[in-house]
Amino acid sequence: MIPAGRRVVDDYEAAAMMGIARGTLRNTQAWKPLAAAVVSRGRTRLYDHRRLRQLLAGETPEPLPTTEDEKDLLDVEEARQQIPTDRLLAASTWRSYICDGTGPPPDTTIAGVPFWYRATLPAWLANRSGRGTGGGRPAGTPDTRPRTLTADRHQLANQRRVRVRDYLTTRPRPTSADLTELAAELGISPRHARRLAAEARDG
């Protein structure tokens, strides 16, 4: 979670603050002493800028806010966990919802990673029809409406492609486990991640 109002930086910026290359940061695991500044993990680590700066200066980092704020930014799994237990979706279902536009669109993306405001999930749930409430096309009826990308979804799709291309520069032959983890980071299905990786290699 990224607390409301906090600036974050990725490995590129963290490495620059340390005066080293990003590859050196990763290969030597130079980020580990800075773990107290990490606010979002995964293939794309994000650091709280203020705490990172304090750690690099040899200072004790200030505590992060502990109270919830509607402007807190949640990653794909943290957003899913905001759904009440009686309506909680499986992780794979949630990722497919995000991928196909059924779920709430991300409020922002940082370093190619989608995030949602804490307040977004209750609003989405309130507007979402529950099972068995009617509406939609009858079961078995094909969806004949053309699917279009909104500007936000088009931008997110492009950011995902950029992130996958960047990922392949460090892991040109990713394993299935790698792609599954990358898919979770990007809020998409593993199948979608494999397709994006194939497109990046072919392109």
The answer to whether residue 92 is domain-embedded is yes
The answer to whether residue 139 is domain-embedded is no
Residues 35 and 73 in one domain: no
DSSP H or E run through 182: helix 176-186
Token digits of residue 176: 């299935």
Residues 74 and 122 in one domain: yes
- Of the chain, the percentage scoring pLDDT greater than 70 comes to 86
The answer to whether residue 137 is domain-embedded is no
Residues 33 and 104 in one domain: no
The answer to whether residue 63 is domain-embedded is no
Smallest Cα–Cα separation from 190: which of 91, 87, 46? 91
pLDDT of 85 > 90? The answer is no
- Of the chain, the percentage scoring pLDDT greater than 90 comes to 37
Decide if 46 contacts 111 (C-beta within 8 A).
yes
Burial class (CB in 10 A: 0-12, 13-18, 19+), 185: buried
Cα-based angle 103, 158, 113 (whole degrees, multiple of 5): 60
Token digits of residue 80: 């899913």
Instruction: Return the residue matching tokens 């779920």.
Output: 103
Strands 38-40 and 8-9: unpaired
Residues 108 and 157 in one domain: yes
Instruction: Return the residue matching tokens 């609003």.
Output: 123
pLDDT at position 185, please? 77
Handedness of CA 128, 132, 138, 139 (dihedral sign): positive
**DSSP-assigned beta bridge partners for residue 110:** 113
Residues 12 and 103 in one domain: no
Residues 94 and 183 in one domain: yes
pLDDT of 158 > 80? The answer is no
pLDDT at position 12, please? 92
Query: Residue 157: what residue type?
Result: A
Residues 97 and 13 in one domain: no
Q: What is the dihedral of CA 41, 44, 48, 49, to 10 degrees?
A: 160
pLDDT at position 157, please? 77
Q: 0.85 cut: is pTM over it?
A: no
Handedness of CA 163, 179, 115, 35 (dihedral sign): negative
> How far is 190 from 177, CA to CA, in rounded Å?
9
pLDDT at position 130, please? 52
**Domain containing residue 35:** 8-56
Residues 121 and 50 in one domain: no
| Mean pLDDT, residues 160-187 taken together | 80
Contacts of 23 (CB under 8 A, 6+ apart): 170
| Mean pLDDT, residues 54-69 taken together | 93
The answer to whether residue 192 is domain-embedded is yes
Residues 19 and 113 in one domain: no
The answer to whether residue 144 is domain-embedded is no
The answer to whether residue 191 is domain-embedded is yes
Residues 76 and 121 in one domain: yes
Residues 101 and 158 in one domain: yes
Token digits of residue 26: 């990763």
Residues 101 and 47 in one domain: no
State pLDDT tens for residues 16-26: 999 999 899 98
pLDDT of 146 > 60? The answer is no
Number of structural domains in the chain: 2
